Amino acid sequence: MGQVISLPFKLFHTTATFWSGMYHYLCGGGRRNPYNPSSFLKANEKDSAEEVLFKQHARVHLYGMASAFYLYNKPHYRKGSYRDDLLDNLRNLAFPGTGIPLSWFVWNKLSALGLVLGINPLVCLMASFHHWWQTGGSISKEYATRLLAPNDWFSYWRLNCNIVGLHSYLDKTRCQADYDMENKWTFLQEAEKLKVPISPYLKMPAVVLKHRNEEGGLGIFFYKNAVDGGDWIIQEKISNSDWVSSVLPPNAPLSTFRVLTQSRSGLSEKSPEPSDVMALSCVFRAGRKNAATDHDSILFDVNHSTGEIKGGTTNQHWYKLGFFQWVRCPWRSEHSFTHHPDGNIPITGEVVQPDISKLMQLAEEAHYKMCPLVPLAGWDVVLCKEEPTICLLEVNLSCNFFRGSFDEKVYFDFMEDAITSFQAKRLLQDKKK
């Protein structure tokens, strides 16, 4: 009975902490002064290691959310503004079980503020009761996790995007060339110059595609190659390696490994060094049968030290749009796949072949050589039959972990160091206005 009586007070305290934290980093002392971990949710001697990490996570999360409003109308490295990038990236995403595109709520700062301060706590509360209904777990603890230190893929993705967006804006003069790697053609050209292995591309000026049965000038298409100033990168189709094919169903797409790396080179003015870069996580995107790409896949976590493949999951419930999704859409997904569902092929427990260190080394070297100043980068690594047998497809600088596991202490220490550096640049820019 005591727990029931105290529940509303615990929920209110968590909500008040969230609102005060947003105020602190949006327009209070956290916005006007250098970043200081002791200024909000300060850890004390009595805190356990778990509680210290929770507070650190919460500080980073709240600062990241608040920084989105600072960036809202400012230029973005791949769009006209941060707002434009938000609208593009959130148009096919919804809080699981709602079916409403999140892009509807970010058309202006006021609606975005309503989403963050009003709708977000409500959704977190509903998720906490749902968690209690499904597992019997603590409502108040789950609510604090969901609202203050969320560990879902979407929250980590938005945090990464906000930190990268902040850096690209505040240090644009120094780092613009690094952020140009998001462009797929620039990426291929630069990788070739630096002898970073990439998926091969064809160098003829153009190609013509004809339907075998159309006549009268119909069914014919002309594509001008990027090598000749066109918009299209023309490549031969490459295929999965024998080992990758052995854990996939027939007619599966090219299935990549997403390796996420961090770099400290952009956090200071010193010259980049290889030791600045380290891999954080690895996920095997096991494509589904008859899918065109591995965007439709089961996401298997990979131990990036040993290469052992762990449990698989999906994030497709975040992409369910429509009025009736509140009935049909699952709210959560666990790492419950041990086999590929298309053919019941065992994957969990398999060890990546060849040695996983070769994939990690390729991603780390590419980050150092191609975009060392970018704090975080997601690399699509391919194991294929053709040469080079280990190569990169592209890099994603507004990257997410794809549900992969990582050392949270290493990650949040890095993020607080990045915030400390970028907040200092932000205050310098404020003085120039």
Closest CA to 310 of 274, 261, 348: 348
- The predicted pLDDT at position 114 comes to 97
Residue 46: which residues within 8 A CB-CB, separation 6 or more?
Answer: none
d(CA 169, CA 177): 13
Question: What are the structure tokens assigned to 277, written together?
Answer: 């870069």
Q: At what angle do helices 139-148 and 120-135 cross, to 10 degrees?
A: 140
Q: Is the peptide bond before 354 cis (omega within 30 degrees of 0)?
A: yes
- The predicted pLDDT at position 252 comes to 97
Closest CA to 15 of 7, 3, 25, 5: 7
Q: Which residue has the tokens 């980590």?
A: 156
Spans in the chain with pLDDT lower than 50: none
Closest CA to 310 of 292, 289, 334, 327: 334
Amino acid found at 342? D
Residue 287: which residues within 8 A CB-CB, separation 6 or more?
Answer: 248, 252, 253, 254, 255, 293, 294, 296, 297
CB 330 within 8 A of CB 96: yes
- The predicted pLDDT at position 1 comes to 56
- The predicted pLDDT at position 330 comes to 82
Closest CA to 239 of 387, 353, 362, 379: 387
CB 406 within 8 A of CB 262: no
DSSP assignment of 275-301: GGEEEEEEEEEEEPTT-SSTTSEEEEE
CA dihedral for 295, 179, 82, 16, sign (positive or negative): positive
Which SS3 state, helix, strand or coil, does residue 351 take? Answer: strand
- The predicted pLDDT at position 187 comes to 98
d(CA 366, CA 97): 39
